[in-house]
Structure 1
Amino acid sequence: MTASNRETAMPVPPQETDRTLHFAGPATFGRVPRLDEVGTTDIAVVGVPFDAGVSYRPGARFGGNAIREASRQLRPYNPAQDAYPFHYVQVADAGDISANPHNINEAVESVEAGADELLSTGARLMTLGGDHTIALPILRSVARRHGPVALLHFDAHLDTWDSYFGAEYTHGTPFRRAVEEGILDTSALCHVGTRGSLYSKEDLDEDTKLGFGIITSADVLRRGVDEVVQQLKERIGERPLYISVDIDVLDPAHAPGTGTPEAGGLTSRELLEIVRGLADCHLVSADLVEVAPAYDHAEITSVAASHTAYELVTLMSRQIAFFRWLEEQNRL
């Protein structure tokens, strides 16, 4: 299937029957075909096994493959969104982008180049990290295609610090760099699920100056998912949207396998419901990062991550299919 006929060719979905052995065969995301098997794709699920930007526990370089393994049980029909995400459009696993684990600056350049290559085909990205450093180069690439984008950042932490030990590229700095580089729409930025201690109150003041709103995990508890979703949709509007999910947005009870856990986080149910509520938003790409399987008990974290990625892929799939339907109606 080539780029010219992708819109009319039937997507190649996972080979799913009631006799499918979910634990057998290659561990692509949701058991979708590899990119080299279909030639081109509408949604590329791509891993970035990089964690040299972490400030606490390492191990997120193994997160992408852990999410793939946990995604084996994902089935073709998503009842929460009443959708068949792998049947509407082509979803393929693009493998991993290699990034130098010994040189952060070089790694950032490699991730940006890999994202450029995939996005140049018209695909949207569902990136599996890796640590949160990788969000910056992907946002650079996405912004080249869409202009400055709205951002929803699900995380226990702000990730808008200026530097760590003098390093400007770390997992705690990507969104400050993104604002400084003009690749984010500063009228439509929001953190969701933040909590925990900070270095000083100035961290919050500087974050506000960068343009971010904050919905804490306590806000989700007190206001409820529906009110939070409505607030987020009002802030985003119809702008192109990028969603970045650090799995530590979840409470350690729901995601122990991460590098910087903080008590008092969202439940996996709350995260999934918030993501599902964003169905009307113009989601152009997304990432899910900071899964560190060495600290994961019984795959709790990677299962939550795989289901969150599935919901994000479903949002993109439904939107692509809807736009194509509109185009077809205009041609009739």
Structure 2
Amino acid sequence: MSRSFNQPLGGNEMPRFGGPGTMFRLPSAPLSDDLDIAIVGVPLDIGTSNRSGSRFGPRSVRNESVLVRPYGMATRAAPFDSFQIADVGDVPLNTFNLKESIRIIEDYYDQLVSHDIKPLTVGGDHTIALPILRALKKKHGTMALIHVDAHADINDDMFGERECHGTIFRRALEEGLVDGNKMVQIGLRATGYSAEDFDWSRNQGVRVVQAEECWHKSLEPLMAEVRQRIGEETPVYLSFDIDGLDPSVAPGTGTPEPAGLTAAQGLEIIRGCWGTNVVGADLVEVSPPYDPSGNTSLLAANLLFEMLCSFPGCLRRD
């Protein structure tokens, strides 16, 4: 018997400025075995080191997602015909305690994994990726990682703290959450505290793709290399910091860096994940107060749609 999947509320059924405030105007639902993919908001920004405001990211991205329609016209992808997807709301954080919030996030994703649900997460600052990876490792083991960012996030500590948005991927590698030989960091750039700032990743086997390697070109060949490096079976987590993109297209973020990736390159990276075994993804560091136009949140919503299209099993309409 065929399943009946949740569908976004259509623009001809209800004006796009009306209707539910959920991501893509999907139904809201609790965690349950009925879901294939859960869209989760994690409105944390107490792990950030510069401009705050990403706590408002999930709400703003949901608001702008009303403009996203259900089919991908370039790929003919049909995620809402492929999976049971719902917006399960936000993780109930402790906004005064970063360590406690990290624990709460991991516990929440433990529950999610126990229902065999794949998470699509809207941040929040990048700290949230660490507890998510910890939860997913319990089910999937050590994972491959595709990390889009202006920053490597491999500091050993920041102001004495070992778990915050600038340290998470050092912790993830040290804890065996991800395999350095199946990890790629794309878009790293700008200035550092030493000329060797990105070398710690390289020394763990990570493929580091600095932004300069991406300038003025399509990233389809790069993503073919990434797919070959990772393979078809290894569980993959995709973590996309919006500041990996240039501030001209995504100004609403806490730590912007010039000369970043274009919006089209961001789409190419995500579409290039098709063919890998994506088990979860996040889009983080959208800070709406720094982009009153809403363009950063709108772009983020479209990138999240493309992530849905890149989960294994998503139909492509001929």
Q: TM-score, normalised by structure 2?
A: 0.94
CA contact (8 A) 1:246 1:289 kept: yes
Could you tell me which residue of structure 1 aligns to residue 185 of structure 2? Answer: 191
Is 1:143 aligned to residue 137 of structure 2?
Answer: yes
CA contact (8 A) 2:201 2:208 kept: no
Which has the higher mean CA deviation after the structures are superposed, 74-83 or 246-255?
74-83
Write the distance in 2 (CA, Å) between the matches of 1:143 and 1:38: 20
Counterpart AA for 2:183: L
CA contact (8 A) 1:161 1:172 kept: yes
Could you tell me which residue of structure 2 aligns to residue 125 of structure 1? Answer: 119
Write the distance in 2 (CA, Å) between the matches of 1:21 and 1:31: 11
Could you tell me which residue of structure 1 aligns to residue 82 of structure 2? Answer: 88
Write the distance in 1 (CA, Å) between the matches of 2:283 and 2:241: 6
Q: Which runs of 5+ in 1 are unaligned?
A: 1-6, 323-332
CA contact (8 A) 1:48 1:64 kept: yes
CA-CA distance at 1:38 after TM superposition: 8.3
Aligned match of 1:105 in 86, 89, 99? Answer: 99
Q: Which runs of 5+ in 2 are unaligned?
A: none
Q: How well do the aligned residues superpose, as a CA RMSD in angstroms?
A: 1.7
CA-CA distance at 1:210 after TM superposition: 2.8
Which has the higher mean CA deviation after the structures are superposed, 11-20 or 302-311?
11-20
Write the distance in 2 (CA, Å) between the matches of 1:162 and 1:37: 35
Alignment size in residue pairs: 314
Aligned match of 1:241 in 215, 236, 242? Answer: 236
1:37–1:290: structure 2 CA closer, same or farther, 3 Å change rule?
closer
User: Whose helix proportion is higher, 1 or 2?
Assistant: 1
Counterpart AA for 2:76: D
Is 1:224 aligned to residue 218 of structure 2?
Answer: yes
Write the distance in 2 (CA, Å) between the matches of 1:275 and 1:69: 22
1:160–1:277: structure 2 CA closer, same or farther, 3 Å change rule?
same
Identity %: 41
CA contact (8 A) 1:256 1:297 kept: no
Aligned match of 1:165 in 159, 166, 179? Answer: 159
Secondary structure at the residue paired with 1:306?
helix
1:206-285 matches, cutoff 5 A: 206-238=200-232, 239-285=234-280
Q: TM-score, normalised by structure 1?
A: 0.91
CA contact (8 A) 2:54 2:254 kept: yes
CA-CA distance at 1:37 after TM superposition: 10
Aligned match of 1:155 in 137, 146, 149? Answer: 149
Write the distance in 1 (CA, Å) between the matches of 2:185 and 2:79: 27
